[in-house]
Each structure stands twice: as C-alpha cells, then as structure tokens.
Chain A
Amino acid sequence: MTRTITLTINGKKRTDSVEPRMLLIHYLREVAGLTGSHIGCETSLCGACTVHVDGKAIKSCAMFAVQADGRSILTIEGLAAGGKLDTMQEAFWNEHGLQCGFCTPGMIMTAKQIIERNANPSEEEIRRGLDGNLCRCTGYQHIVNAVKAAAAKA
C-alpha cells in the first residue's frame, strides 16, 4: 500500500509514491536522494536529521513523509544551491564549528532558525536554541561562535 505525495524540496516540486509509514528522513535520503541530512537516532533526540518544513526547523525522523504532502522543505543541500555558501555554512567553516561533520547539516539548519527568530542572540539563547541537536565532537563552543558570527553578518 502506498500513497502519493507532492511536495517542494529545495525549491523543486516532486511527486512520489511512498509507504504511509516511511519516515520523512528516509524519504529525503533514499527516495529524493538527498543524503546531506543524517540519521543519528531515529528517536528525535539527536537532531542530525533537522530540516526546515514550511520555514520551521523540524526533526525529519519524527515526521512521516506523507505528513509533508503539500509542504515546502529546505535541506542542507538547498543552502548553497547557487554555488555560494550560506552565511551560516561559511560561519561554521570559519569558526571550526564542526569536526566529524555528522551533526553539522542538522546543526546548521537549527542555527539558521535561531538567528531567523532572533537577530542578535545572546550566548545563552544560542545554547538553548541548540539544545535539540547533539554534537559529540566540538563541545559546542565553536558552534556557539559560528552562530554569533553568522548573526553579526546577517
């Protein structure tokens, strides 16, 4: 049994038939071929799968693909689409906001939302905003620096 969904991913419309139980993250990675968003837990605790749905950062392992029907999704692959890095990507690079890089796409999508909601966040606000995303490598400090730097440039 499958259902047909039509949605916009990174500005492009597509239609697919999916099992109703298919998670959005599996759909994005295995059907749409966008492997930039990662799976760290499948239980919505790590945030590696964070993407934007209709402008809001969500954990795509906690949503079914069928729930994204008719919606607009932005993934990490949609950020530097024109060949120019997004301010947040550039800031993560400059500030060494990543090591193994596995949490990074989700971290960047969350970080973008932090500064979209608050143009000048304090360190504490940045840290609270990042709480849904786990990073085991960086100790978060350089990520905090990256978000600060991106906010200053935005």
Chain B
Amino acid sequence: MATTITKTETLIGKRIRRREDPRLITGTATYLDDIQMPGMHHACIVRSPHGAAKIKSINIKPALDLPGVAAVFTGNDTEKLGPVPCGASIPGLRVPHHHLLAMDRVYFVGHPVAVVVATDRYIARDAADLVEVDYEPLPAVSDPEKALAPGAPPVHPEWPDNTAFTFHQEGGDVDKAFAQADVVVKERITSQRLIPSPMETRGAVADWKLGDQTLTVYASTQVPHLLRTLLASMLSIPENRLRVVAPEIGGGFGCKIQIYAEEALMGFVSMKIAKPVKWIESRRENFTGTIHGRGHVDYYELAAKRDGTILAIKLKLIQDLGAFHELLTPAIPTLSVLMMPGLYDCQNIRADIVGVFTNCMATDAYRGAGRPEATHGIERMVDILAAELKMDPADLRFKNFVKKDAFPYATATGLTYDSGDYAAPLEKALNTSGYKKLREEQQKARAAGRFMGIGMSAYGEICAFGPSPATPAGGWESATVKIEPTGKVTVMTGSSAHGQGHETTFTQIAADELGVGIDDVLVLHGDTSLVQYGIGTFGSRSTAIGGTAVYFAIQELKEKIKKYGAMLLKSDDVAYANGVCVDNKSGNTLPLAQIAAASYRALKLPPNTEPGLVATFFWEPPNFTFPFGAHIVVTEVDGDTGAIAIKRYVAVDDCGKIINPLLVDGQVHGGVVQGLGQALWEQAVYDDNGQLVTGELMDYALPRASNIPWIETSHTETPSPVNPLGVKGVGEAGTIGCSPAVVNSVVDALSPLGVRHIDMPLTPEKIWKLIQRGGKA
C-alpha cells in the first residue's frame, strides 16, 4: 500500500517549476524524429518550384532505378484519397478540391507533386532530385489586391475573379453614426504574411500493421483526435483502426492544427509498402508548405465626436488566403471582425471581408489568429484619432473603454464579453512606465532633435474556443481522472500540449481539488488510444476548457469517494478534503488511498455504486472568455540608420485567475517576442511569380536573444465567470498586445515629421527612407 499523502497547502497560484522539464533538459524526450522502428523507410516530397504551372509529364523511372528506393507515388496514385479538409463554413465559400498530390497543375511554390520512399533519408533525398517533372510555367499572382484587379491571372481557372468568399457583418446604425460624426479618420493598415516557424518542423511517421489492419500515425500535431477522425475519412479506413499519437511536440503556434496532405500521404505510403515510413519536414519545406499567418490588407474608417467618443467603425478586410484552404483558412478573418471594436464601447460596426486566392501557401491560424490583426487595426486607428484630435492616446482609450460595471457586455459583433476592468491594466502600465515623466523626457529629446516614442495598446482577446456552435469541430474539452488502486492519480486530457505546460497546470488543478501531493499526479495526453476523445490545444483554450474538464471530472469522483468513505467509516455524514474522508460526527478519517483500494477490491459496494474510481467529463463551455491588458513601449529611432531601439517594454496582462505565474510570464514573454517579430522584422515575401523570396531562416528574420528588450510583466486578475476556475487564457495575449504598441511608439517618435502610419515590419531600411523623405511615405 502506498503511503498516503495529505496536504493543506494549495498549488494554484504558485510559481511551480514544470513537471515536463526533466525529460526536456536531459535530451530524453521523444520528439517525432526520435522515433525509430525496424524496417522504417524514409520519404522525401518533390515540390513545385513554380508559383503556377501546368504539369506536362512526370518521369519517376530515374528515381525508381536508384538502389534503395522502394517506391515513388504521384497524383494519379492518390487521386481518390483525401481531400485535404477545410473545416470552415461560410455561405457561398468556394473550396477548391485539395488533392494530396498535385494532379495536372501546381498552384504555389512548395505544392507537393510526388513522394519518394527509400531505405534511408539520404537516398530518399537523392531520389527526389531524380524525379523529372516537366512544367509549363503560368502567370502567377501573389498580392491579394493585385489578384482582385481585372485581368489578374486566375489562381483557379474556374474562378477568374480570384474571390473565395465575401462576408458582411453589421451592427447598429453605421451610416447614421458617420453622418453625426465631427471627425472621420481613415487608414489602410496591413498585417503582413508571417511564417509561424516552430523550432520543430512538421512531420509524420506511419506504421501500418498488415495483420491487424491497423494504422498508427505519429504526427507533430496540436489536435491528435481531430487528425484521427479526419485522416480516417481521407484514407477511407475505419477510425477505430487508426491511432494517432502526438509525441513531444516542438512548438506549434497554430501551424499544427491543420490536417495536412503529408500526414495522409504517410498513412497511404505505409499501407502500400507495408513498412513504417517517416517524413520529417525540412525547414525550407516548413517555409513553403506549412501554413502562414496574417496576410491582411485592412481599410479602416473611424467616426468620432470632437470629445473623442468613438461612434462607429468601418472595415474593408482583404484576406490573402493562398491557393487552397487548410483547416481553418477562411474562418480566421471572421475572428478579426468579431474583435473589431476591441475594448471600446462602440455599437456601430460594419465589416466586409473579401477572401482572395493567391498563388501562395495557405494562411491559417498563427498565434492570435485574426485577433492580432483586429487589435493592430483598432489600436492604430485609436492612435490616429488621438493625433487628429490632439488628445493623449491614454485619455482617449479611458474615455471609450467598456466600463467595469457594464459586464456581461454585448458587442455589436454579437459577442458577450464575460468580465473586465479595462482601465486597470492601462493604469498599471502607465504607472509602471512613469508615463507622465516619459512624456516630459520626450519633450526634451525632441528639443534635442532625437526621435523618442511612447506607444501603447489596450488589447482584448476572444479566447477559450469555444462553445461548440461557434467552432468548426466541437468546442468542448475532455478529461478522465483515475484514482489508481494505490491512490495515485492519473489525468488524461484531450487537450494535447506542445510546450504550454499542461502537465504542470493540470497537476496543480487536480492536486488541489483532490488534496493530494504534486508527485501523486501524472497528466497524460496526445495518444488517441489512451485518451478518451479530445479537441486539442489552440486559441488559448486549454486551461479554461481542458482544465475545467479536469475540475468537473474530479467533482464527480469526489461524490463517489464520499460514498465509499461513508460506507467504510459507517457514517451518513462525511466530507472529503485534503486527501481524506472525514466522518463529520466522530471525526474519524480515512485516507484516499484506502478508499481507492477498497473501491477496486470491491468486497462491498455502496448502494448503486460501481467499483473503481474513474470519471470522465466532457465540458462544454457556455461562452468564450475575454482576457485583456495593456502594453507600453518606449522607443528611440536612430535618425542616421533608421534602427529602432526599444528602451522599455511594459506588459500588463489580465488572463483571469492565474494557476501558475511562472508559466503565465513565460507565455507573455514568448507572445510579446512573436509580436516584436511581426512589428519589426518578419515578413513572408513572395515575388510577382509567386516565388517565396524569404524561403529560409537566412532570409526570414526571426527574433534572436540580443534583439529583445527586457520585458517588464505584471498582471491584474479579473476572474472569468464562464468557468469555476475563473481562468481566461494567456497563450496569445503577448502577441496580440505587442505589435500596435510598438508601431504606435515608432509613429509617435516620428510624428514631428508628420508621420501618421507605418506598415509593418518596421525595418531600418523602411524607417531610414521615411526619415530621408522628411516623413513622407
């Protein structure tokens, strides 16, 4: 019998170092490429070097002739499989048939054309170069606005207008509000295409067991259960004979939510050759063949009164979709529209989205997914309005915030913000940064001819996706909690982690709720043969929905524990707390381990009670959660070089109740730095032929340690009423708040030159040119 651990100290709210780290810091974790199997083959994918081309012929013979090559497959072999699924539903959406391998035409650089399978990865790579594809290049279009112009090359010949969908949303009376406005400000604001770039690229290992007729697919995915369900249909195999395992995942940031062609292709290949097969994406493939993020051209109009009251917002949103829809592609800009008003009490909104096909890789969910774009737009526009009205940007924000007593607050976009005190983080950020003093310093700097800027953002997020009616798959999350016969606790969550630290946060929740020690709990995830079913990790949902499922599973267990406790203590009045069942009358106690042992031994059962202590709970949330916060960024622009130095970075986040402050800070830091990447350096550039010019890490500027300022984080804590834990989510907050604060700061720095807006990324070259031209774009 294991010793019983009882405790009174709670773990929620403590800076606890992570449970998952020992395997990661010792190099003993198993990532996808660490999987080795007897007889394993390796696949290499032949991809289009053209943005658009006809495939006139493919000659696979030279590749097949290379010793060690087992097979080569082309589009004709896989025509009946798939298609690569799109889960978004928008009325009138055009969904091009997305074959696993190109048929007679390629639509973007990186489009998979053939799969070469060999006994080792070097041979597979050699053989890929021997596949002869005869292409006839076609005109391509990579810029979404050019794609909409008359006479643009059609990405899909059947839809010459290159328009995948249009989407209109309206609330209030926008025309009336604009007619009544004292001031209208307009701006074209872009959110450039970004490459998510997790440090581990994608990949898949497929293992077909001929005798069992079962397929196991190991994949670097954020959504193992959804992958299983959709792969079963793509490969036409029974779902119960398909197992998906997400091993250790080296980051995702949204680009591993999709169900990619390669995952199905590996399943197909393994079934064909009856051997395990591995494909690991190269970094170049990751740049061309894994989804990108953002890709907005936004036309904003803001109507306001002279006193700064925002009356209405209009948005025309041009979304660069790429050539094919991945799982969520068309849905992402609709999230931007939902969050259009930001934190402001504005009941008149009008949005029109045009989703545009281009000869590029698909855009889809990248950290923030639609909300960074929305926040960037509204927070830039508020600064532009402040400049127009000669108001302090902080004052303008305070004036328009949804007030603290207005929650739950119904937005003009149909959402209900759950809880908030939007002024609190901005006040805290102003105090932390010494805002008033900074403005005085700025006056002196300007007098000395220096470009010092102070920028802020006040951001709101829609998180914890989400109620099932509002998500393409279910929006719930599941948990199974088992008290083992020895009293140890095993938690299985459907929310499969890829760096967030679920094993730690969910342990904190479970240990507190059951009153057991931290080492008594083990959290498992990522294997469809182990975990009930689940949705996955994205949209800052895991703690709010997955953690809540753990909470409710434990509430069910506690009822059962009490039934056993009452029987064993021979009492009709028991309570369960701190790992023991207590007879409220006699004061006698029974530890959890003894109750667990008795429940499995089952010599005697309480009335209407089954043996064992296992509970599974699927929790459907009643609403999203809406975290918020404020960032303040102090910059200085070097007038001679255009280089931007970030002097201060203050981030105040409100993610509801905090489970582990250490992990929350880590999420904010990482998020902010991805936001800095967008604001200052990163951009996926396709040329007019659809060639990805930034096709490698050499040409795509990911943030490095010495580029990054110290980030001063702090929090306000406004619990969410949506779940009993009061949590909201923090995975995307840093990214969402960052880019507008940085751009606002640099625009503020250059405002003496008359600069009103600069599109990201704010490269030194762009800033230098702007200064050279005296602030004229």
**Distance A26 CA – B702 CA, assembled complex (angstroms):** 25
Task: Please determine whether B33 and A39 come into contact, CB atoms closer than 8 angstroms.
Answer: yes
Answer yes or no: B586 CB below 8 A from chain A CBs: no
Task: Please determine whether A139 and B198 come into contact, CB atoms closer than 8 angstroms.
Answer: no
Task: Please determine whether A142 and B26 come into contact, CB atoms closer than 8 angstroms.
Answer: no
In A88-142, which residues have CB < 8 Å from any B CB?
A: 89, 92-94, 96, 98-105, 108, 123-124, 126-128, 130-131, 133-142
Identify A77's interface contact among B27, B250, B663, CB under 8 A: B27
* Chain A residues near B21 (CB-CB < 8 A): 92-93, 98, 101
Task: Please determine whether A138 and B666 come into contact, CB atoms closer than 8 angstroms.
Answer: yes
Answer yes or no: A149 CB below 8 A from chain B CBs: no
Task: Please determine whether A102 and B663 come into contact, CB atoms closer than 8 angstroms.
Answer: no
Question: B127 CB to closest chain A CB, in angstroms?
Answer: 15
Chain B residue nearest to A134 in the complex (CB): B702
**Distance A63 CA – B251 CA, assembled complex (angstroms):** 26
Task: Please determine whether A139 and B672 come into contact, CB atoms closer than 8 angstroms.
Answer: yes
CB within 8 Å for A100 and B671 given contacts A93-B18, A130-B705: no
**Distance A86 CA – B24 CA, assembled complex (angstroms):** 13
Task: Please determine whether A37 and B199 come into contact, CB atoms closer than 8 angstroms.
Answer: no
Question: A140 CB to closest chain B CB, in angstroms?
Answer: 4
Question: B627 CB to closest chain A CB, in angstroms?
Answer: 18
Chain A residue nearest to B660 in the complex (CB): A96
**Residue in A41, A77, A128, A134 with the greatest tally of chain B CB atoms within 10 Å:** A41
CB within 8 Å for A100 and B499 given contacts A21-B122, A94-B17, A136-B199: yes
Answer yes or no: A58 CB below 8 A from chain B CBs: no
* Chain B residues near A57 (CB-CB < 8 A): none
**Distance A80 CA – B24 CA, assembled complex (angstroms):** 12
Q: Which among A1-9, A42-50, A64-72 touches the partner chain?
A: A42-50
Task: Please determine whether A45 and B697 come into contact, CB atoms closer than 8 angstroms.
Answer: yes
* Chain A residues near B583 (CB-CB < 8 A): none
Chain B residue nearest to A101 in the complex (CB): B24
CB within 8 Å for A85 and B25 given contacts A99-B500, A141-B710: yes
Identify B698's interface contact among A39, A43, A98, A99, CB under 8 A: A43
CB within 8 Å for A98 and B24 given contacts A45-B697, A127-B706, A127-B708: yes
* Chain B residues near A60 (CB-CB < 8 A): none
* Chain A residues near B28 (CB-CB < 8 A): 36, 77
Task: Please determine whether A40 and B25 come into contact, CB atoms closer than 8 angstroms.
Answer: no
Identify B711's interface contact among A35, A103, A141, CB under 8 A: A141
Those 9 A-B pairs whose CB atoms lie nearest each other, nearest first: A36-B27, A102-B250, A100-B499, A101-B24, A139-B669, A139-B673, A76-B27, A130-B705, A35-B34
Answer yes or no: A54 CB below 8 A from chain B CBs: no
**Distance A100 CA – B500 CA, assembled complex (angstroms):** 7
CB within 8 Å for A79 and B26 given contacts A96-B666, A131-B706: yes
CB within 8 Å for A138 and B697 given contacts A39-B33, A76-B27, A101-B248: no
Besides A108-B25, A135-B199, 5 more A-B contacts (Cβ < 8 Å) are A43-B283, A85-B25, A127-B705, A131-B706, A139-B669
Answer yes or no: A24 CB below 8 A from chain B CBs: no
Task: Please determine whether B25 and A89 come into contact, CB atoms closer than 8 angstroms.
Answer: yes
Task: Please determine whether A101 and B663 come into contact, CB atoms closer than 8 angstroms.
Answer: no
Give how many B residues have a beta carbon under 8 Å from the other chain's beta carbons.
Answer: 58
Chain A residue nearest to B667 in the complex (CB): A99
A-B interface pairs (CB < 8 A), number: 174
**Distance A140 CA – B698 CA, assembled complex (angstroms):** 20
In B192-240, which residues have CB < 8 Å from any A CB?
A: 197-201
Chain B residue nearest to A123 in the complex (CB): B710
* Chain A residues near B23 (CB-CB < 8 A): 101
Task: Please determine whether A136 and B26 come into contact, CB atoms closer than 8 angstroms.
Answer: no
Identify A140's interface contact among B26, B27, B696, B708, CB under 8 A: B708
Task: Please determine whether B20 and A101 come into contact, CB atoms closer than 8 angstroms.
Answer: yes
Give how many A residues have a beta carbon under 8 Å from the other chain's beta carbons.
Answer: 58
* Chain B residues near A123 (CB-CB < 8 A): 710
Task: Please determine whether A96 and B26 come into contact, CB atoms closer than 8 angstroms.
Answer: no
**Distance A81 CA – B494 CA, assembled complex (angstroms):** 35
Answer yes or no: A62 CB below 8 A from chain B CBs: no
* Chain B residues near A92 (CB-CB < 8 A): 21, 25
Answer yes or no: B674 CB below 8 A from chain A CBs: yes
Task: Please determine whether B705 and A131 come into contact, CB atoms closer than 8 angstroms.
Answer: yes
* Chain A residues near B704 (CB-CB < 8 A): 130-131, 134
* Chain B residues near A133 (CB-CB < 8 A): 705
**Distance A131 CA – B501 CA, assembled complex (angstroms):** 25
Question: A66 CB to closest chain B CB, in angstroms?
Answer: 14
Question: A51 CB to closest chain B CB, in angstroms?
Answer: 10
**B→A interface (CB under 8 Å):** 17-18, 20-31, 33-34, 36, 121-122, 197-201, 248-251, 253, 280, 282-283, 498-501, 662-663, 665-666, 669-674, 696-698, 702-706, 708, 710-711, 734
* Chain B residues near A46 (CB-CB < 8 A): 199, 283, 697
Task: Please determine whether B706 and A101 come into contact, CB atoms closer than 8 angstroms.
Answer: no
Task: Please determine whether B662 and A101 come into contact, CB atoms closer than 8 angstroms.
Answer: no
**9 contacting pairs across A/B (C-beta < 8 A):** A35-B31, A38-B33, A101-B20, A101-B29, A103-B250, A126-B705, A136-B670, A139-B708, A140-B708
Identify B662's interface contact among A96, A130, A139, CB under 8 A: A96
* Chain A residues near B27 (CB-CB < 8 A): 34-37, 75-77, 105
SS class, residues of chain A in contact with chain B: loop
Identify B200's interface contact among A35, A37, A100, A108, CB under 8 A: A100
**Distance A136 CA – B293 CA, assembled complex (angstroms):** 15
**Residue in A79, A128, A137, A138 with the greatest tally of chain B CB atoms within 10 Å:** A137
**Distance A79 CA – B671 CA, assembled complex (angstroms):** 30
Task: Please determine whether B283 and A40 come into contact, CB atoms closer than 8 angstroms.
Answer: yes
Identify A134's interface contact among B199, B706, B710, CB under 8 A: B199
**Residue in A41, A85, A102, A126 with the greatest tally of chain B CB atoms within 10 Å:** A102
Answer yes or no: A73 CB below 8 A from chain B CBs: no
**Distance A131 CA – B696 CA, assembled complex (angstroms):** 17
Question: B383 CB to closest chain A CB, in angstroms?
Answer: 24
CB within 8 Å for A99 and B501 given contacts A40-B200, A93-B17: yes
CB within 8 Å for A141 and B18 given contacts A34-B27, A48-B199, A104-B25: no
Task: Please determine whether B251 and A102 come into contact, CB atoms closer than 8 angstroms.
Answer: yes
Answer yes or no: A151 CB below 8 A from chain B CBs: no
Question: B11 CB to closest chain A CB, in angstroms?
Answer: 16
**Residue in A75, A80, A104, A128 with the greatest tally of chain B CB atoms within 10 Å:** A104
* Chain A residues near B706 (CB-CB < 8 A): 124, 127-128, 130-131
**Distance A22 CA – B122 CA, assembled complex (angstroms):** 9
**Distance A96 CA – B666 CA, assembled complex (angstroms):** 7
Chain A residue nearest to B196 in the complex (CB): A136
* Chain A residues near B34 (CB-CB < 8 A): 29, 35
**Distance A128 CA – B30 CA, assembled complex (angstroms):** 30
Task: Please determine whether A139 and B251 come into contact, CB atoms closer than 8 angstroms.
Answer: no
**Distance A108 CA – B706 CA, assembled complex (angstroms):** 17
Identify B696's interface contact among A43, A96, A144, CB under 8 A: A43
**Distance A46 CA – B697 CA, assembled complex (angstroms):** 8
* Chain A residues near B122 (CB-CB < 8 A): 19, 21-22
**Distance A26 CA – B21 CA, assembled complex (angstroms):** 25
Task: Please determine whether A103 and B666 come into contact, CB atoms closer than 8 angstroms.
Answer: no
Task: Please determine whether B283 and A99 come into contact, CB atoms closer than 8 angstroms.
Answer: no
Task: Please determine whether A139 and B25 come into contact, CB atoms closer than 8 angstroms.
Answer: no
Task: Please determine whether B24 and A137 come into contact, CB atoms closer than 8 angstroms.
Answer: no
Chain A residue nearest to B198 in the complex (CB): A136
CB within 8 Å for A139 and B671 given contacts A19-B122, A85-B25, A104-B25: yes
Chain A residue nearest to B26 in the complex (CB): A80
**Distance A142 CA – B34 CA, assembled complex (angstroms):** 26
Task: Please determine whether A102 and B672 come into contact, CB atoms closer than 8 angstroms.
Answer: no
**Distance A57 CA – B64 CA, assembled complex (angstroms):** 40
Chain B residue nearest to A138 in the complex (CB): B670
CB within 8 Å for A100 and B17 given contacts A19-B122, A77-B26: no
**Distance A45 CA – B699 CA, assembled complex (angstroms):** 11
Question: A111 CB to closest chain B CB, in angstroms?
Answer: 10
